[in-house]
C-alpha cells in the first residue's frame, strides 16, 4: 500500500509540475536544462553529419579536371579514383560505424554517456582536419573514413540513452525529433558550404573548416552538459521532479540486459526493418545526390550543393514539427501509441515511394529538387513514427536496441552507396532510374513490414522487477560512496 501511495503522490507531483511547466517551449531551449541538452545534441548531430557529407561534394572537385569554357584542361584532377573507388570511399565511413554501434549501446549503460558522446565527436573532428593529408593514398583515405565511422558509431545509441534519461514521456517525440533535425541541417550545411568552399577556396578547406567547428562544439559540450538530471547542479528542483516523476530515476540503474528476449522480439525486428529500409534511400541520396545533379543536370559544383541541400533543409524543418504533431495527437487521446507510430511510419513510407518514382519521370533540376524535397520531407514523418517507438517498447534498454538496429541499418549505408556506384558507372539517365526504382521498392517494403509487426506497449521483458531495481540502485550507491571516499 505504501508503494501505491508513493506512486499516486509521484503522479500528482508530475501532473502539477507539468501544468506549471506548460509555459516553457523547446524553442526557448535556454529556459530549461533538458532543452539545453536537446539543443546541444541537435548541434552535435549538425557537426556529425556535416563531417560525413562534406566529402560527397568535395570528392567531385578532387576527381575532376578543371577546364575552361572551350573544354581545355587547366588543371588535372588531384585524384584518379574511378566510380567504383569513389563508392568504396563514400561507403567506408559505414564500415567503421557498423562495428561500434552495439559496444556504444553497452557503454551507454556503463560509463558517462555525455562524456563518451563528446569525445567521439571531438576526435572525429581532428580526423577530419587530417583528411586532406590521408587522401594522397587510396587506402589511407578509406582507413581514416573507417576510423571516423568507428568513433561516431557510438553516438547514436548514446544519444538515445541520454534522451531517455532527460525526456518526460509526453515530450519524447518532440525532443528526439528536434535532435534528429540536426542530421538534416548538418547535411545541408555540409553539402552547401562544401560546394562554396570548393569553388571559391579549395577542397582541402572543406575539411579544415568543418573540423575546427567540431572542436569548438566539443569545448562547449564539456562545459555545459551533464549525463543525468541528478548530476546537473544548475537544474531547478521543479524541472528535476518533472523529469524523474515521469521516467523514474534511470541514472542509477545497471540492470542485466535481456539479450535473448531482445533478439526474439518481433516488435524489435519491426523497428530494425523500418530503420534499415528508411536508411537506404537516405544514405543513397546523402552520398550521391550531388553526383546525380552534376551528371544528369550538368550543374556547377557550388549550385550542385544548393540543389542537393534543399531537400535536407526541408526535412530538418519538417522533422522539428513532426515530433510536436505526434505528441499532440497522443495528448488528445484520439489515437493510441502504436496507431500514431504506424500512421506516421507506414503512410510516409508509401508517399516516399511515390515521389522516388516521380523523379524518374521528371529529370529536370527544379522538378527533381521538388520531388526529392517532398520525399525527404516525408522521411522525417517516417522517422517520427518508428524512432520514438524504441523508447515506447523498452525505455531502460533504448541505447542497446538502438545500437543493434543502427548496426544493421548502417549496412544500408554501405550497400546503397556502393551499389549506386556500380550502377551509374556511365552516369546516364537510365542508370539513375534503376537507382530510384530500387529505393522506391525499399520504401514500400518498409511500410508493409512495420505495419504488420510493430507494437507500442512496454514489452514484458523490458519491465524491471522491483527487487532487481532495488539491488541495482543499492550497488550504484555503494560505488558512488567508494568513489567519493577515494576522491576525498
- Asked if the model's pLDDT at residue 482 lies above 50, the reply is no
pLDDT in tens, 129-159: 999 999 999 999 999 999 999 999 889 888 8
The arithmetic mean of pLDDT across residues 267-279, rounded, is 95
Q: d(Cα 321, Cα 381) in Å, to the nearest integer?
A: 9
Residue bearing the bigger pLDDT, 366 or 50: 50
Q: d(Cα 182, Cα 195) in Å, to the nearest integer?
A: 19
pLDDT score for 148: 95
pLDDT score for 474: 45
pLDDT score for 477: 45
- Report residue 36 as a C-alpha cell: 539545453
pTM for this entry = 0.70
Q: Which domains does the chain have, with CATH numbers?
A: 30-232 (1.20.1250.20), 259-460 (1.20.1250.20)
The number of helices, as runs of H, and strands, as runs of E, in the chain is 17, 2
Asked if residues 314 and 450 have their Cβ atoms less than 8 Å apart, the reply is no
The arithmetic mean of pLDDT across residues 94-104, rounded, is 84
Residue 67 phi, psi dihedral angles, 5° rounding: -125, 160
CA 243 and chain centroid, separation: 23
pLDDT score for 25: 55
Where is 471: in which H helix or E strand?
helix 466-487
Average pLDDT, the chain: 81
pLDDT in tens, 313-326: 777 777 777 877 88
- Report residue 469 as a C-alpha cell: 531495481
pLDDT score for 28: 62
Give the highest mean pLDDT range of 94-108, 257-271, 414-428. 257-271
pLDDT score for 481: 44
pLDDT in tens, 162-186: 888 888 877 877 888 888 888 878 8
pLDDT score for 213: 96
Residue 75 phi, psi dihedral angles, 5° rounding: -150, 130
pLDDT range class, residue 308, cuts 50, 70, 90:
low
Asked if residues 214 and 117 have their Cβ atoms less than 8 Å apart, the reply is no
Cβ-in-10-Å burial (0-12, 13-18, 19+) of 169 comes to middle
Amino acid at each position: 500500500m505504501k508503494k501505491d501511495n508513493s506512486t499516486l503522490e509521484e503522479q500528482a507531483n508530475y501532473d502539477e509540475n507539468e501544468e506549471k511547466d506548460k509555459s516553457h517551449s523547446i524553442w526557448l531551449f535556454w529556459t530549461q536544462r533538458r532543452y539545453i541538452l536537446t539543443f546541444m545534441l541537435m548541434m552535435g548531430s549538425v557537426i556529425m553529419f556535416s563531417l560525413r557529407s562534406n566529402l560527397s561534394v568535395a570528392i567531385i572537385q578532387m576527381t575532376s579536371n578543371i577546364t575552361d569554357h572551350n573544354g581545355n584542361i587547366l588543371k588535372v584532377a588531384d585524384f584518379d579514383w574511378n566510380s567504383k573507388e569513389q563508392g568504396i570511399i563514400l561507403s567506408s565511413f559505414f564500415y567503421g560505424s557498423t562495428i561500434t554501434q552495439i559496444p556504444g549501446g553497452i557503454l551507454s549503460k556503463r560509463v558517462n554517456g555525455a562524456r563518451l558522446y563528446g569525445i567521439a565527436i571531438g576526435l572525429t573532428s581532428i580526423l577530419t582536419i587530417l583528411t586532406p593529408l590521408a587522401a594522397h593514398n587510396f587506402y589511407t583515405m578509406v582507413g581514416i573514413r573507417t576510423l571516423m565511422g568507428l568513433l561516431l558509431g557510438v553516438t547514436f545509441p548514446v544519444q538515445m540513452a541520454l534522451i531517455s534519461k532527460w525526456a518526460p514521456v509526453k515530450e519524447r517525440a518532440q525532443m528526439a525529433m528536434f535532435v534528429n533535425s540536426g542530421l538534416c541541417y548538418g547535411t545541408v550545411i555540409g553539402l552547401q558550404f562544401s560546394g562554396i568552399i570548393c569553388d571559391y577556396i579549395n577542397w582541402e578547406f572543406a575539411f579544415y573548416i568543418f573540423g575546427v567547428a567540431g572542436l569548438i562544439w566539443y569545448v562547449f559540450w564539456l562545459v555545459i552538459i551533464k549525463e543525468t538530471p541528478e548530476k546537473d547542479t544548475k537544474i531547478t528542483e521543479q524541472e528535476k521532479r518533472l523529469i524523474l516523476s515521469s521516467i523514474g530515476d534511470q541514472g542509477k540503474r545497471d540492470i542485466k540486459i535481456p539479450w535473448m528476449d531482445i533478439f526474439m522480439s518481433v516488435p524489435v525486428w519491426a523497428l530494425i526493418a523500418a530503420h534499415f529500409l528508411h536508411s537506404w534511400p537516405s544514405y543513397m541520396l546523402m552520398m550521391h545526390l550531388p553526383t546525380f545533379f552534376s551528371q544528369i543536370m550538368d550543374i556547377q559544383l557550388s549550385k550542385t550543393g544548393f540543389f542537393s541541400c534543399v531537400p535536407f533543409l526541408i526535412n530538418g524543418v519538417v522533422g522539428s514539427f513532426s515530433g510536436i504533431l505526434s505528441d499532440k495527437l497522443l495528448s488528445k487521446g484520439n489515437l493510441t501509441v502504436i496507431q500514431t507510430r504506424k500512421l506516421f511510419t507506414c503512410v510516409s513510407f508509401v508517399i516516399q515511394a511515390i515521389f522516388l518514382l516521380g523523379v524518374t519521370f521528371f529529370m529536370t533540376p527544379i522538378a527533381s529538387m521538388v520531388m526529392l524535397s517532398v520525399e525527404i520531407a516525408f522521411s522525417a514523418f517516417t522517422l517520427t513514427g518508428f524512432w520514438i517507438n524504441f523508447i515506447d517498447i523498452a525505455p531502460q534498454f533504448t541505447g542497446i536496441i538502438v545500437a543493434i538496429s543502427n548496426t544493421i541499418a548502417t549496412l544500408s549505408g554501405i550497400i546503397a552507396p556502393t551499389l549506386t556506384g556500380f550502377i551509374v558507372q556511365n552516369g546516364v539517365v537510365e542508370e539513375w532510374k534503376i537507382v530510384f526504382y530500387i529505393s522506391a521498392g525499399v520504401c514500400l517494403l518498409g511500410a508493409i513490414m512495420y505495419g504488420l509487426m510493430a507494437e507500442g506497449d512496454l514489452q514484458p521483458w523490458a519491465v524491471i522487477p522491483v527487487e532487481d531495481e532495488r539491488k541495482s540502485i543499492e550497488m550504484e550507491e555503494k560505488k558512488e560512496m567508494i568513489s567519493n571516499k577515494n576522491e576525498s
